[in-house]
Amino acid sequence: MSEEMDTQNNSGAATLPHAEHYDPEGIKIGMWLFLITELMTFGGLFILYAMQSYTYRADFLAASGSELSRAMGAFNTVVLLTSSLTMALSINAILQGARKRSMVLLGITIACALIFFGVKYFEWTAKFHHGVYPGSEHWVNELNNGTRTFFTLYFSMTGLHGVHLFIGLCLLIWCLVRIQKGQITPERHMMLENCGLFWHLIDLVWIFLFPLFYLIA
Amino acid sequence: MATTTMTPPGAIPNYLTYQGRFRGILGWLLSVDHKRIGVLYLWSIVIFFLTGVALGVLMRLEMLTPKETIMSATQYNALFTLHGVIMIFLVIIPSIPAVFGNFFLPLQIGARDVFFPRLNLLSWYCFMGGGVVAIVALFTGNGFPDTGWTFYMPYAAETSTNVVLGLTGAFIIGFSSILTGLNFITTVHRMRAPGMTWRRMPLFVWSLYATSWIMLISTPILGITLLLVIVERLTGLPIFDAAQGGDPLLYQHLFWIYSHPAVYIMILPAMGVVSDIVPTFARRNIFGYNFIAASSLAIAGLGSLVWGHHMFTTGISMTSKIVFSFLTFVVAIPSAIKVFNWVATLYKGSIHLEVPLFYVMMFIFLFLIGGLTGVLQASLGADAHVHDTYFVVAHFHYVMFGSTMMAFFAACHYWFPKMFGRMYHRGTALAAALIFFVGFNGLYFTMFILGYIGQSRRYFEYTDTPAFQNLHVMATVGSWILATGVVLMFANLIGSLWFGKRSSANPWEAPTLEWQTASPPPFENFETIPTVTHHAYYFPGNRQA
């Protein structure tokens, strides 16, 4: 069996594999399906939020008003929206063959992500300074159940959002490198396009997080 | 089907002998060929399955006598958790989709591979990676979680066992499920051969398609839920801790929003296998093709809305109980539609009682018992009586083991000659099936009775109710017979890999596309992509609509 097959292998290997199957439409479908899973992931948290904010309505409103800075939240929203715009423009640029422009726009997107992280860092550390973290004296003795739940959700949801933003950031940097190397071209731009979709999803999630945590008061 | 004569038949090496970039074991571990990945899954799942069976037999052994004998309470708890985690996450959920779906979905729709071959390989690594993490959890720290496979809060946050690692394992395995689902949906949408319209697809493909949607939509919810438990354990954020404002009941909701649809991830592909096997051995078109295909989608849809029936005794509101109870009754309808159609297909068929059909008939019998006892538990009053007893355990073993795994066995025997080009020993396969069937009913039907008279699940001894011992002995003896059947079956199959008679390309005279190519299938499946001109179950010469 093996000898016979071995000779066949050699003759077979010459004619195989068949021509590569490239189907941008299908690649995009795959990405959209992945985005559905992301929606469901965040959806689980939004369900938690809906239930708990129903239970602790008053505490949620109070905690949102007293502890979260609307200015910082609004600033971050603008930053993320801008980044989505530059992301879309960057894809547009690569489609037109303007590699340089595409890279600059992608660079701005990455910069926006870093600014967002910077602001978030200040926000989180401010919370920690105020003793808003599990196990602190303030948390154990002074906060009530509703407020603790509000911040539990705040940390979980913005935390998960942050993790996604970080993954998105890494993907964008990778895209940048690949454009630089000429591996993302007007003909083969699906990677950039899909990363763009992912980036818009991150943006979209934030659009919901912002009012739910910052604006309800 | 449509092979050109450019190269002589068999000139393309089959997938087992094809030499890609890598040789030997690497040729398997790094192969992106959907068939090789399917076989990788097959071996991993069989090994996990046999491990799970061994654990189950050990648990039954402990229950042989009323007193503690071979293990302590904690060990028993860890054992049933491990048994559950292995069987659910590493065996039943991936069993049919990951093995036979990977192998046969592209073949059945006339494609060369799945749409994302590299993601496909990644999904196997996620699967194995998760499995390895779970095994690490077993031997490190304070041992494997003793929470049950459901990881209910708040206990999952309090126990000193290795919950974080166990959950991480399950979390990683979830990615494998998601990637497989994503891959299958895209493949079905984009890679069907010319002429393979939606209504010409084999029903196995339809069931995989429906399953993939559940995997895609539900698995992330489990992912985030397990992640939240990990976060709660590591950071102390009181997500589900009632003492600090969290809500443990929300954990159960989130958990079952995934885990009930997961039951349909388990059973739908099994139904697809049955829908493919029945027409082949009745030599006629399936009865009610449209209804079977649509009922798969209906099950996928309705099955996502019934999770509350796991929580009838937790104190959720009467309104939601009634709604969930109603929906649970409703979801029985599409399942029944399938059973009626299978039986109607056999009626006046030209029946060839080969091994796969034999397994399928046992499937139908066991699924009936499993399904009907499920309907009983959908009613609120009856559920209060049997909740958390052996009755529930018996019910879901009838559905998951007696049905899904039975269909898995049927699929093993149906597609074995196609996958490996050899045939197993027919008599041994039939004997194994019979032994399994006797042992299975001895074990689990007894558990129905035990549960009904009051034996609670997850107890490691029953010194207060020594009168139950006779039935416990029966169940334990049943578990030995069952295990014998399983071992005999796999011994027959594995031995036949080397010693089985060579099989022709289409030993069953089956109509679907995978049988129209060589056995084992050549690398990249078809020399020329076939053009499809008939519906899936077309038998030339039959007078058919």
Of B221, B231, B235, the CB nearest to A40: B221
CA distance B216 to chain A (A): 6
Q: How far is A142 from chain B (nearest CA, A)?
A: 12
Nearest to B245 among A11, A37, A148 (CB): A148
A31, part of any domain = no
**Does B186 sit within 8 Å of A8, measured CB to CB?**
no
- The more confidently predicted of residues A5 and B108 is B108
Retrieve residue A97's tokens.
Answer: 């063959």
Q: Is the pLDDT of residue B7 over 80?
A: no
Instruction: Say yes or no for a CB contact (<8 Å) between B13 and A48.
Output: no
Query: What pLDDT, in 10s, does the model give residues A109-130?
Result: 999 999 999 999 999 999 999 8
**Under an 8 A CB cutoff, do A18 and B524 touch?**
yes
CB contact under 8 A, A48 and B254: yes
Nearest CA distance, A104 vs chain B (angstrom)? 31
B328 backbone φψ class: left, alpha, beta (φ>0; ψ -120 to 50): alpha
Of A20-29, B176-185, B410-419, the poorest mean pLDDT is in A20-29
**Rounded Cα distance, B359 and B273, in Å:** 11
Query: How does pLDDT run across B312-348, given as a tens digit for each residue?
Result: 998 899 999 999 999 999 999 999 999 999 999 999 8
DSSP for B222-242, please give it: HHHHHHHHHHHHHH---SS-G
Q: How far apart are the C-alpha atoms of A206 and A157, rounded to whole Å?
A: 10
Q: Which of B4, B7, B17 to mutate to test the interface with A (most CBs of A within 10 A)?
A: B17
Chain A positions touching B177 (Cβ under 8 A) are none
Contact residues on chain A for B253, CB-CB shorter than 8 A: 47
Is the confidence at residue B4, as pLDDT, over 50?
A: no
Residue A158 lies in a domain: yes
Q: Hey, are the CB atoms on B244 and A145 less than 8 Å from each other?
A: yes
- CATH code assigned at A100: 1.20.120.80
Q: Do A29 and B221 touch (CB under 8 A)?
A: no
B245 confidence band (pLDDT: 50, 70, 90): confident
CA-based nearest distance A108→chain B, Å = 30
**Higher-scoring residue by pLDDT: B424, B12:** B424
**Residues 6 or more apart from B117 whose CB is under 8 A from it?**
B32, B33, B34
**Phi-psi group of B245: left, alpha or beta (phi > 0 → left; psi -120 to 50 → alpha; rest → beta):** left
Q: State the smallest CA–CA distance between residue B325 and chain A in angstroms.
A: 22
> In the predicted model, is pLDDT for residue B374 greater than 50?
yes
Work out the angle between the directed axes of helices B163-190 and B73-85 (0-180°, nearest 10).
Answer: 10
- Write down the pLDDT at residue A12: 37
Main-chain phi, psi angles of B516, to 5 degrees = -90, -5
How sure is the predictor about B138, in pLDDT bands with cuts at 50, 70 and 90?
A: confident
- The SS3 call for residue B459 is coil
Helix axes B117-139, B163-190, angle to 10 degrees: 160
Q: According to the 3-state scheme, what is the secondary structure of B390-434?
A: HHHHHHHHHHHHHHHHHHHHHHHHHHHHHHHCEECCHHHHHHHHH
| Average pLDDT of span B340-363 | 94
Per DSSP, which regions of B202-317 are E strands? Answer: none
State the nearest Cα–Cα gap between A37 and chain B, in angstroms: 6
Residues A157 and A159: their CA atoms lie apart, in Å, by: 5
For chain B, the maximum distance between any two Cα atoms, rounded to a whole number of angstroms, is 76
Burial of A107 (0-12, 13-18, 19+ CB in 10 A): middle
**Assigned domain for A116 exists:** yes
Please tell me the predicted confidence (pLDDT) of residue A139.
87
Total domain count, chain A:
1
Contact A135 B236 (CB under 8 A): yes
Model confidence pLDDT, tens digit, residues B46-63? 999 999 999 999 999 999
Say how far apart CA A57 and CA A37 lie, in whole Å. Answer: 29
3-state SS class at A47:
helix
Residues in A touching B7 (Cβ below 8 Å)? 15
Mutation target among A10, A38, A41, A132 for the B interface, most CBs of B within 10 A: A41
For an interface test with A, which of B118, B224, B226, B231 has the most A Cβ atoms less than 10 Å from its Cβ? B224
User: Look-up: residue for tokens 């020399």?
Assistant: B527
* Model confidence pLDDT, tens digit, residues B439-478: 999 999 999 999 999 999 999 999 999 999 999 999 999 9
Binary contact (A30, B254; C-beta < 8 A): no
Nearest beta carbon to residue A47 from set B19, B237, B254: B254
- The residues, ordered by sequence, that sit 6+ positions from B267 with a Cβ below 8 Å of its Cβ are B299, B335, B399, B400, B403, B404
Q: How many CB atoms lie within 10 A of CB B320?
A: 13
CB A209 within 8 A of CB A153: no
Place of tokens 């998951």: B400
Residue B119: closest CA among A42, A37, A170: A37
A54 touches B at CB < 8 Å: no
Which chain A residues are closer than 8 Å to B250 by Cβ? 47-48, 51-52
Tell me the pLDDT band of B16, cut-offs 50, 70 and 90.
confident
- Quick one: closest CA in A to B16, which residue? A5
One-letter amino acid for residue B346 of the chain:
L
Q: With beta carbons under 8 A apart, name residues in chain A contacting B17.
A: 2, 5-6, 8-9
**Which of B179, B186, B191, B529 to mutate: most A Cβ within 10 Å?**
B186
Q: What is the pLDDT, as a whole number, of residue A68?
A: 87
Question: Is A177 an 8 Å CB contact of chain B?
Answer: no
DSSP string, B41-92: HHHHHHHHHHHHHHHHHHHHHHTTSSS--SS-HHHHHHHHHHHHHIIIIIII
* Cβ neighbourhood burial of A43 (10 Å; 0-12, 13-18, 19+): middle
Please report where in the chains the tokens 């991993």 appear, as a residue.
Answer: B44
**Share of residues in chain B with pLDDT > 90 (%):** 81
Closest by Cβ to B245, choosing from A16, A38, A145: A145
Residues of B in contact with A42 (CB under 8 A): 224
Tell me if A148 and B228 make a contact (CB, 8 A cut-off): no
Please report the pLDDT score of residue B543 as a whole number: 59
**pLDDT band, very low/low/confident/very high, at B34 (cuts 50, 70, 90):** very high
**For residue B196, pLDDT beyond 70:** yes
Full domain range(s) for residue A130 = 42-215
Structural domains for chain B? 31-516 (1.20.210.10)
Backbone angles phi, psi at B503, to 5 degrees: -110, 150
Chain A positions in Cβ-Cβ contact with residue B215 (cut-off 8 Å): none
- Look at A9 and B17 and tell me if their CB atoms are within 8 Å: yes
Q: Looking at residue B153, what is its pLDDT?
A: 86
Contact A44/B247, CB-based, under 8 Å? Answer: no
In chain B, the residue whose alpha carbon lies closest to the alpha carbon of A12 is: B12
Q: Do A16 and B523 touch (CB under 8 A)?
A: yes
Q: What token pair was written down for A99? A: 């590699």
**What percent helix, strand, coil does chain B show, rounded to 5?**
70, 0, 30
Residue of A nearest to B228 (CA): A156
Q: How far is CA A160 from CA A47, A86, B43, in A?
A: 15, 23, 36
Instruction: Report how far residue B268's alpha carbon sits from residue B297's, in angstroms, rounded to the nearest whole number.
Output: 9
Q: Average pLDDT for residues B60-70, to the nearest whole number? A: 93
Q: Note whether B355 and B413 are within 8 A (CB).
A: yes
Contacts of A29 in chain B (CB under 8 A): 185-186, 189-190
> Cβ distance B363 to B407 under 8 Å?
yes
Q: Please answer yes or no on whether B13 and A47 come within 8 Å at the CB atom.
A: no
| CA closest to B183 among chain A residues | A30
Predicted local distance difference test score (pLDDT) of residue B318 = 93
- If you search the block for the tokens 């005279």, which residue do you land on? B509
CA distance B273 to chain A (A): 25
User: Could B218 and A156 be called an inter-chain contact, meaning their C-beta atoms sit closer than 8 Å?
Assistant: no
Closest chain A residue to B6, measured at CA: A15
Q: What is the DSSP letter of B501?
A: E
pLDDT at B11: 65
Distance of CA A22 to the CA centre of its chain: 27
A152 to B524: CB separation less than 8 angstroms, yes or no: no
What letters, b where the CB count within 10 A reaches 16 and e where it falls short, cover B495-534? ebeeebeebebbebebbbbbbbbbbbbbbbbbbebbebee
Walking along chain A (217 residues) 10 residues at a time, the average pLDDT comes out as 35 48 89 95 94 93 87 94 96 93 96 96 92 87 90 94 96 95 90 95 95 91
Residue of B nearest to A1 (CA): B17
